[in-house]
Amino acid sequence: MADEEKNMTQAEIFQRRRRRRSIAIGLALGALVLIFYAVTVIKLGPGVFDRPL
């Protein structure tokens, strides 16, 4: 990782790191969405159909 940044300017390193941090945050938020979706389905289960119309 440090080797790859060896021949870069400070600005390039800054942008590269910021991009990687953004990807990591995006993945974490995506995982959170999936977790909440799955937990909702599990918690409600078949009960999701069992409600007055």
Residues found near another protein in the complex (CB under 8 A):
1, 9-11, 13-15, 17-18, 20-21, 24, 32, 35, 38-39, 42-43
Instruction: Please report how close the Cβ of residue 53 comes to another protein at its closest, in angstroms.
Output: 27
> What torsion, rounded to 10 degrees, do the Cα atoms 45, 48, 50, 51 define?
150
CB of 17 to another protein, least distance (A): 5
**CB 13, CB 5: distance < 8 Å:** yes
* Separation of alpha carbons 44 and 53, rounded Å: 17
Please identify, using beta-carbon distances, which residue of 28 and 53 lies nearer to another protein: 28
